[in-house]
Amino acid sequence: MKNAIEALGVPHTEIGRIEVNAGSATPDRIVREGDRIEVFPWPEVGAAPADMPLHFVADAHLGALARFLRMLGFDTVHDNRIADAEIRRLAYHDRRIVLTRDRELLKCREIFVGRYVRALDPALQLEEVVARFGLADHANPFTLCLRCNFALAAVEKVDVLARLPETVARTHERFHRCGGCGRIYWKGSHYARMGAALERILHAPLDP
């Protein structure tokens, strides 16, 4: 079944349920002459399988989406030079959900769960992925570095004072530092803008 459906251009990750002769079937079923086959898509609003961690890998074309997901607190691997072979490896060994605009990539057997991202605008892409995998209830915004995907940790102002712009040092007291690249974060005007965008997508207020 899997090969027959994918030959029509539909990756197995986009398949919801399959019915053969009015009964349920799996993608491993052998196609027989005379079978009446119906294939239904994954619902646009749902959740990832219960045994699948909400960790992602985004292909080279989805950098802005990857940053948005990190902004929501979801571990998301992305690199502008990432190869398909590495995406398949991460999907198989780390059980990551693959996000891509390449249907052929999603046909690979190493990929258990994935999404062919339909929208072109990054904000709409995020809305699409949040709805598809039921992410709203699992979001933990502003806890990951947008640059390198490492966790952020609170840091004393005195420990980063030498690295702060003068106006920031004068007007802010709470700071976080990335455990990977060392980048410093604070709640400036950019935080308010990003927070407002995320609230619209999550349909819920963020913690102050």
Where in the chain are the domains?
Answer: 2-41, 56-138, 152-202
Rounded Cα distance between 68 and 129, Å, is 11
In eight-state DSSP terms, residue 151 is: B
39: helix, strand or coil: strand
The predicted model scores a pTM of 0.88
Strand order in the sheet with 56-58: 76-77, 56-58, 97-100, 114-116
Q: Determine the Cα–Cα distance for residues 138 and 166; give it in Å rounded to an integer.
A: 36
For every one of its 208 residues, what pLDDT tens digit does the chain have, with 9 covering 90 and above?
999 999 999 999 999 899 999 999 999 999 999 999 999 988 777 788 888 999 999 999 999 999 999 999 999 999 999 999 999 999 999 999 999 999 999 999 999 999 999 999 999 999 999 999 999 889 999 999 999 999 999 999 999 999 999 999 999 999 999 999 999 999 987 787 888 888 888 876 766 5
